[in-house]
Chain A
């Protein structure tokens, strides 16, 4: 567990970009159980190697014309129960990593951006992967 005062700016960064932070199991269940439509879950992290680009990348992607219906975050290493619960909605096959991002549609993971897909890349490159997934999975049908 890191010093909460050091982590707070990283929490604030996601809230400022419009993510709803989920800090308890109950909060996770309330939004992800029986979820319909699209939702992106950021597994946030203190790791500067990857999270330092993941958050700006997501911020860029969320300015794209097509975005998920809902965008949430859990904080790995800080809110461990909430993070573990969120990962339970990703399915057993997906291995935990942080930071990472899961795009769900009607409760099923349709895109997973693992940590290894974030490391060493620019926010622009990561954002491009995200917006491609948004275009593919998040178009609203009427």
Chain B
């Protein structure tokens, strides 16, 4: 492991690309930054909306080509979040 690390001591998912599922039609894919009592804070976030491209197609394309960023920074109300999983775990299906 390199000794050159800039930001130790964060949330265990800090810096990890995650899939955030919500109670609505929207799923987010982005880098988890942090959370507080009200919000989860994500960076470089792609948005999938149910009813457009299928989730499977969106996920396959994201795994192959990377996250197409719709929002550099995004907050998601914790009350709307139903799950937070690592993209690589979701992508393995």
What residues make up the interface of A, taking CB atoms closer than 8 Å to B?
6, 9-10, 13, 46-53, 55-56, 93-97, 100, 112, 114-117, 119-120, 123
Contacts and interface: CB of A to CB of B under 8 A. Distances in A.
Interface in B26-51: 44
A120 B86 contact: yes
A52 B1 contact: yes
B17 A119 contact: yes
Nearest to A10: B4
Contacts of A50: 15
Nearest to A122: B1
B65 A47 contact: no
A120 B16 contact: yes
How many of chain B's residues touch chain A, expressed as a range? Answer: 20 to 34
A89 B7 CA distance: 31
Contact of B67 (A49, A53, A97): A97
B6 A48 contact: yes
Nearest to A45: B6
B5 A52 contact: yes
B88 A117 contact: yes
Nearest to B29: A116
B1 A123 contact: yes
Contact of A53 (B2, B66, B88): B2
Contact of A56 (B2, B14, B44): B2
Nearest to B61: A93
B15 A95 contact: no
Contacts of A97: 44, 66-67
Contacts of A13: 2, 4
Nearest to A8: B4
Contacts of B87: 116
A112 B63 CA distance: 10
List of 5 A-B pairs having minimum Cβ-Cβ separation, nearest first: A49-B15, A48-B5, A95-B66, A116-B17, A52-B2
A52 B65 contact: no
A97 B16 CA distance: 12
Interface in B74-93: 86-88
